[in-house]
Amino acid sequence: MIKPYGSEILTPLLVKDKAHREMLLEEVEKIPSVVVSSAAAANAVMLGGGYFNPLNAYMNLADVLAVAEGMQMPSGLMWPTPVVNLLKGAALSNELKAAAKIALRDPNVEGNPVIAIQSVDKIEQMSAEQISTVCKQIYGTSSTEHPGVAAFVAAGDTLISGTVEVLNFSYFSTDFPETFRTAVEIRNEIKERGWETVIAFQTRNPMHRAHEELCRMAQKELDADGILVHMLLGKLKKGDIPAEVRNASIKKMVELYFPENTVMVSGYGFDMLYAGPREAVLHAIFRQNSGCSHLIVGRDHAGVGDYYGAFDAQTIFDKIPEGALQIGIFRGDHTVWCNKCEKVMMMRDCPHGKEDYLLLSGTRVREILANGEALPPEFSRPEVAQILAEYYQTL
């Protein structure tokens, strides 16, 4: 099986030793605590589950600036996006500023339970100019119209760096017990299934026919043993379909339309960055750590609006250091239903023209579903369309 990224073995930061956990929980009563941002809590979940391997800490300012500028930490590790605990500096107490350790409280769970304990290495303030520059380098813009920029700016201006010990997986393990899996658990299940060549498909949306067939095309071309359909379960932008609806529709599609033991449906606890090319590289790291040999990178992967070119998330893999990643990239093209071919095709492989294609915009799909109408079977499986229609009719 493919090695984890940056190390020989996966090193998740979830504290499993019972005695050590009890010691940490006792320590919580004696150290300052702070409610962190949703993004910082999600970062703790990803550190705890092994997805951010080999990282073991929230980044400091030098790390953030180096990653933003050149996708490389001062240590030499290639890394595409900041992994930070950003807070509003004005809200930090003197007690917290003087602490050697702090308890991080979860903003997404009632009562704000402690999600992790962090050693405080440095507390550093980012200037407005540094925040703007980092956003431009990571997201391609500093405009808060971009949802990723908006979340980064809203989190605060003060970085607290240091190692982390994770106590739980927030709401992900309780709200999605049948779907949420750590990188460790996915890696173990791949071994149990006896898969060697495994294709990962990243999604924050329900899977329509084009997505389904893209997985089949990649599986056929790579002669893969299995597919990991890996959905994001964290915070999305306004208007995106909730995780529980996506979860139900994807599982129904896999149940009805894929052979048994060829697809694993799983989810991970992370807030979407919408960082396009940079996030595509991050997604590749997640899947290498999960034991996948390949990642499908399609058109406008992890994009939003018109901030990125349609295939920027593919070409960025031509720019990273050779050998930095072991995982392979399957590059998908625009995927459409062709009336003449009578099947879903990638445009680059289809001999026909746009007049022969069924193209539905996201806006048009939402209109059809909101009106309780059926989506064309060429676009969506009827069972999936039904689940989506039921959701849209509640809005």
Helices (H) and strands (E) in the chain, counts: 14, 15
C-alpha distance from residue 67 to each of 83, 347, 373 (Å): 10, 35, 47
Per the annotation, the verdict on 204 as an active-site residue is: yes
Max CA distance (Å), the chain:
70
Catalytic residue from among 181, 204, 209, 381: 204
DSSP calls for 244-266:
HHHHHHHHHHHHHHS-TTSEEEE
Per the annotation, the verdict on 216 as an active-site residue is: no
Buried b (16+ CB within 10 A) or exposed e, 162-188: bbbbbbbbbbbbebbeebbbbbbebbe
Inter-residue contact 117 to 28 (CB < 8 Å): yes
Distance CA 173, CA 163 (A): 23
Which residues, including other chains, have CB under 8 Å from residue 115's CB and lie 6 or more apart? 36, 41, 44, 45, 104, 105, 106, 109, 166, 167, 168, 170
Q: Among 181, 162, 156, 54, which Cα is nearest to 117's?
A: 162
Distance CA 379, CA 292 (A): 28
Catalytic residue from among 56, 112, 188, 205: 205
Catalytic residues: 204-205
